[in-house]
Amino acid sequence: MKRIDCLKAIYPELEDCAVVTIMGAVAAELYSLGHRANFFYLEHAMGLASSIGLGIALSQPNRKVVVIDGDGSVLMNLGGLTTMARSRPKNLVHLIFDNETLLSVGGGAPGGYKWFTTATSTGSDLAGIARAAGYPRAQLVREMEDFEEAALGAINGDELSCVVAKVEAEMPKSFLMDVHMLENRFEFPRALQQPPKDKRELRRPTRITKQQPTTIPALKSLEE
């Protein structure tokens, strides 16, 4: 599974959320899909993206907050998972791309070669840790279909959720981001000044399958 494909799958859902990403590949790839003022890329302070997300979620309980994290960053702030779990903001989704390597700080190489792996490569299970920390929902996914279902379900859901997605340790096509950190820092709170839209207006159909009939009338007729 590729990180960029996962990001493409959730991108339309992020329109009205506060999105906080970690540095490096995740930031560059989300940016490459089209920058929005409601995306904040934390280019340093590994581990604190989830803490920033928690601060937003507690301050704006009516806005959905999506933190896009990585295994290396999460491992630098494992205690933060317990803080998140006990605060349990219903409006926060914690996505973790687990490529089992410290890719963006030099632990990866072109071609997906991992020369500096993280402990998830030797069995540490971040979804298990999140569950044990007290997250009401935490799931590990390896296939695109499962990712879509889990991530879209979490974003459209109403409880603190964690989705750990095992992805390839692939470099992004480019690390180029034509938005300065400070520009991003000032546009982001401005975007959060706009009140979030009514959740029902934003709710989009998640993946539609025969097993999972839609409740959206317009699509129901298509299905039948």
Partner 1 sequence: MPVSVANSQLVYDAMKGVGVRLVSALPETWLVHLIRIADDDPEMTLVRLAKEEEGVGISAGAHFAGVKSAMLMQNHGFLQAINGIVGVSLLYKIPLLMLITDRGTFGEKDPWQTEGGKYTRPVLDALHIAHDDLSRPDDVEPKMAKAMSLAQSSLSPVALLLQRDLMWEEPK
Binding site for partner 1 (CB under 8 A): 18, 20, 40, 42-45, 47-60, 63, 77, 79-80, 82-83, 86-87, 181-182, 185, 188-189, 192-193
**Min CB(61)–partner 1 separation in Å:** 10
Nearer to partner 1, 97 or 188 (CB): 188
For residue 29, the SS3 value is helix
For residue 150, the SS3 value is helix
The Cα 67–Cα 65 span in angstroms is 6
**Min CB(45)–partner 1 separation in Å:** 3
Nearer to partner 1, 39 or 147 (CB): 39
Nearer to partner 1, 86 or 210 (CB): 86
At residue 97, what is the residue type?
F
The Cα 97–Cα 57 span in angstroms is 21
Residues 69, 86: contact at Cβ < 8 Å? no
Nearer to partner 1, 48 or 102 (CB): 48
Phi, psi (5° rounding) for residue 222?
-65, -40
Residues in a beta bridge with 108: 114
**Min CB(208)–partner 1 separation in Å:** 33
Nearer to partner 1, 32 or 83 (CB): 83
Residues in a beta bridge with 20: 40, 67
**Min CB(198)–partner 1 separation in Å:** 19
Residue 26 CA to its chain's centroid (Å): 9
The Cα 66–Cα 93 span in angstroms is 5
Nearer to partner 1, 84 or 152 (CB): 84
CB neighbour list of residue 144: distance below 8 Å, 6 or more residues apart: 1, 5, 6, 9
- Residue whose C-alpha is closest to residue 57's, from 19, 23, 26, 97: 19
**Min CB(110)–partner 1 separation in Å:** 27
**Min CB(67)–partner 1 separation in Å:** 10
